[in-house]
Structure 1
Amino acid sequence: MTEIPEHLLKRAAAARDKSKAEPEPAAAAEPAAEEAAGDSRIPAHLLQRSKAAKAGKDAPVEESGGGVAVAEKVGAVVAAGPAGGGVPIGAGPGGHTQRLLTVVKSGTIQDVKATPVDKVHTWPHLLAAEFVAALACTALVFVFSIFVHAPLLELANTNQTPNPSKAPWYFLGLQEMLTMFHPMVAGVTLPGVGMIALILTPYLDRNPSNKPEDRKFATSIQTVHLMFWAVLVIIGSFFRGPGFNFVLPWVEGLFFEL
């Protein structure tokens, strides 16, 4: 609890001493009551009821109009005021009803504090990292192009179909599925199911966390999709020979141009 300042303690002690030095108001109570009785503005039955309440009696009091009024029974709860000479219930030393409990330092009523959130600004935290990643990818492609010879092929001969005839690498997965399933299944059904599954993944996995260990369902769906497509592309690129038949690249050679 906060300590009470010394000047407030001295002021409270002086007020108590002053109240003890004042004469008791009991002697002046009756003249004041007689004075009030002589005042025609206060009805007589109210004065009589006040006297009966101060005296703590339950006796009937005669009213000016000839009726009878019963004094209010207050018991130990009602305390007589200073005019009756009594001390209010719950009063402190010297009859004071006010006490100084503590002194509270001034401050704001509402202490508003910013709630920390797990978020950062797009610039520079995200865009700076993406820019560095783009530079790294560009440097990797540049170095790769130095060591890997990738010339343009000769003009296509319409009278001679190459064997095997392979699609670009990003379509080799689809071409590989055409060797296993009906064209309707390989070209429409399976790719459509995969795309719908990827579209519905954010709605099925509503976890707001961006940590991979907390997003097992979404991570599993994406991993299965990538691995399925990567395996098909690798098989179509390195394990398919003339007639698009299955071959072993370390036995019959590589039928794919990088």
Structure 2
Amino acid sequence: MTVEERQARVAAALAAKGNGGAAGGGNGAPTRFAGQDHTHRLLAMVPPDGIQQIRSKQEDKVYVWPHLIASEFIALLAMTLLITVLSVLPAFPLRELANPNITPNPSKAPWYFLGLQELLRYFHPMIAGVTIPGIVGLLGLMMIPYLDRNPSVRPDNRRTAITLMTFFLLGAGMMTLVGSFFRGPGFNWVWPWVDGLFFEL
């Protein structure tokens, strides 16, 4: 059906409605148009813009490839470049061969173990080397999901987790700093600005 035929049918239907149904014989029968095999009753005409289309809300999605993989690869290249520069440019000479007859004083562990070495100044080796890092540390980490069951990611709603992590970081950081800069010969207390710095990476 062409546009002209559709407009003619609409005009005829409106005229029949205005005449009180005279075009349909006055008995309310549906109007039959020329070239029409079936009768149809015109109910209403709704413009296409008036039909509301309900669509699902589109969520923001980021695919692993290429977005995540590309970002991680760039971070990998940047870190590799930084490590390469730090390995080539600064001069880190090797020390002399170790002499088993001479023990360096002070004898310190690597900096990431100095916190545990500092605990040995206050507790028995069984407590400082096994109980605190093993039982308290591992059990504490395993108990955190059961102590803080809040699924929220807002800092205001995660006070328990933030408090536990803050105390842990403060304690570990304080022990490491004291063992690194405030322990001298014999692992005794020294002031670095008075007695010197006894710390090596």
TM-score grouping bracket, smaller chain normalisation: 0.5 to 0.7
Normalised to the residue count of structure 2, the TM-score between the two structures is 0.66
Deviations 1:146-198 (A, max 9, x none): 66543222222222222211111121111111111222322233223233333
Match of 2:192 in 1: 249
Is the 8 Å Cα contact of residues 205 and 215 (structure 1) preserved in structure 2?
no
In structure 2, distance between residues paired with 1:132 and 1:156? 41
Change (3 A) 1:102 1:182: farther
Change (3 A) 1:9 1:257: same
Match of 1:164 in 2: 106
Structure 1 residue 230 corresponds to structure 2 residue 173: yes
For residue 246 of structure 1, report the CA deviation from its aligned partner.
1.1
Stretches of structure 2 lacking an aligned partner (at least 5 in a row): 1-9, 31-40
Change (3 A) 1:143 1:112: same
Q: Which one has a bigger Cα radius of gyration? A: 1
For residue 233 of structure 1, report the CA deviation from its aligned partner.
1.5
Query: Superposition pairs for residues 87-106 of structure 1, below 5 Å?
Result: 102-104=44-46
Is the 8 Å Cα contact of residues 150 and 157 (structure 2) preserved in structure 1?
no
Normalised to the residue count of structure 1, the TM-score between the two structures is 0.54
The residue type paired with residue 150 of structure 2 is R
Higher relative CO (Cα under 8 Å, sequence separation at least 6) belongs to 2
In structure 2, distance between residues paired with 1:241 and 1:175? 13
Aligned-CA RMSD value: 3.7
SS at match of 1:206: coil
For residue 142 of structure 1, report the CA deviation from its aligned partner.
4.2
| Aligned with residue 139 of structure 2, among 196, 199, 206 | 196
Change (3 A) 1:239 1:135: farther
The residue type paired with residue 190 of structure 2 is V
Deviations 1:7-32 (A, max 9, x none): 54235446711443x6xxxxxxxxxx
In structure 2, distance between residues paired with 1:208 and 1:155? 55
